[in-house]
Amino acid sequence: MTATRLTVSHLGAQGDGVAPAPGLPKPVYVPGGVPGDTVVVDDKGKVLDLIPGPNRAEAVCLHFGLCGGCTLQHVAPELYHGWLTDRILMALQQHDITLAPDAIVAPHVSPPQTRRRATFRAVRRGKQVELGFNVERAHTLVDLSECHVLSPALFGLLPALRGLLAKELTDGHAASIAVTLTEAGVDLTLGGLKRKGLAQDELLTRFAEENDLARLSIDTGLGVDVIIERRAPIIRFGGVAVRLPVGAFLQATPDGEAALQAAVIESVGKAKDVADLFAGLGTFALPLSAKARVLASDAGKVSLEALQRAANEAQRPVRIEHRDLFRRPFTALELKRFQAVVIDPPRAGAQAQCAEIAKSAVPVVVAVSCNPNTFARDARLLIDGGYRLERLWPVGQFLWSAHVELVARFTRG
C-alpha cells in the first residue's frame, strides 16, 4: 500500500473538504476537512490521516461532530462566509451561468442564538427523556445539553419539556416538539401524542401557564388540537401584525428574514403592481404593500387568509389568490399587468412558474430561494427567456450549516 499526501483545496457542496488527487479517478472527499488541511490517503483514496491546516476554528459546542445541525463550526468564519457564496456559484456553474464579482453582495450571516424556530425529537428511555436533534446522517438522537444557535428563550424550555414528556411518554415512545418564538411568546406543538382527555388537557394547560407559553397544541397526526391559547401568537412583517397559524412556515431568524426583505424591496424598486408568488404569510407581500399594490398567491389557504386579515386591518393594498402554482402557474398573459414578480418557492423550486415568467414581459423578477440547485435550474429558464441575472444576495440563516438562502434580481433585456 502506498500512502500519498494531498492538500484540501476547497469545500464541496455539502461542506466536505475536497482534495484533488492526481492519479486517482476522482478527488478525495474528506469529511471534516478544511482548505489548507493535509490529508494522507492510500492508493484507493481512503483517508488514513488528517493534518489540520491554518483555516480551522475552534468548535464552540460540545455536541459538534455528533449533532447534525452545525457541521461547519470548525471552519474559520471568513472562509465559511465565502463558501456560502461559492455554494451558490457552484450550482450556477452547473447550468453555465456566471456572474461578475461586483454583482454579488457580501453574504449576510445570522449571529448565534437567534434561531426562532426548531423541531426537536424526544424519546423516553427508562425514567429519562432524551430531547434534542438527530445525529448527522442518522436517526440517533443527540440529547442536548447546550445549543449555540437557538434563541435562549427556546433552549430554556428543554428542562421543563423533559419533565412534561416524562409524564406523557411510555418507555421507548417518541414525540416531536415544534417551537416558534413569536412576539407574544413561544408557540409550541407536540406531535406523536394521543389525546387522553381532561386530565391531560389540565396538565398541558398548567405547563403552558407555568412556562408562559403563548399557545400549546397537539398534532395527533389526524389534525391539530389547540389545547390553550393564552395570547395570540403574532409575527410582524413590515410593521404589520400577522396572527401565526399553527404549523405555518416562518423564516428561521428575524435577522435573516430582515436581510431577505431588504434585498427584495431593493430589487423591486419603484414597481407599483407586484405579484408575490408562493407568498405564505406575507413575508414580502406586506413590506412591499407599503408602496405597491400586491397580489399574493400560494397553495396554503390558511396562511393566505391570515395574510389577508392582517392586510385588511392595516389597510394595505393586498389581494390574495389561492392557487397551486406547481399545477397551475400564472401564465405570461396573466403576468402582463405587473411591473415586478417575486417568487419564493419551497426547496423544489418553481420550474413551471419560471417557464411562464420566461415567456412574459415582466420587467423585473426577484427570486428568493433556499436551494441553490433548483434556483440555478430555474434561473437558466429565465435567462434562456431573455432575462439577465443582475444581482445576487447570499443569506446564511442556518449558522455553521451547509444551508444557504439567496435573493436574486433578474431584469429583461
Which residues partner with 117 through β-bridges? 180
Q: How many whole angstroms separate alpha carbon 383 and alpha carbon 370?
A: 20
Q: Helix, strand, or coil here: 393?
A: strand
From the list 67, 70, 354, 370, the catalytic residue is 370
The answer to whether the beta carbons of residues 21 and 6 sit under 8 Å apart is yes
Q: Dihedrals φ, ψ of 83, to 5°?
A: -65, -30
The residues near 81 (Cβ < 8 Å, ≥ 6 apart) are: 106, 107, 109, 396
Q: Which amino acid is at 26?
A: K
Q: How many whole angstroms separate alpha carbon 254 and alpha carbon 250?
A: 9
β-strand pairing of 293-298 with 273-277: parallel
β-strand pairing of 174-182 with 38-41: unpaired
Beta-carbon count within 10 A of 137 CB:
9
Measured at the CA of 51, the angle between CA 45 and CA 52, to 5 degrees, comes to 125
The answer to whether the beta carbons of residues 76 and 55 sit under 8 Å apart is yes
Active site residue 370: yes
* E strand or H helix that includes residue 342: strand 340-343
* E strand or H helix that includes residue 182: strand 174-182
Buried/exposed code over 91-101 (b: 16+ C-beta within 10 A; e: otherwise): bbeebeeebee
**Cα-trace Rg, the chain:** 23
Task: Pick left, alpha or beta for residue 269 (phi over 0 → left; psi -120 to 50 → alpha; otherwise beta).
Answer: left
* Active-site annotation, residues: 370
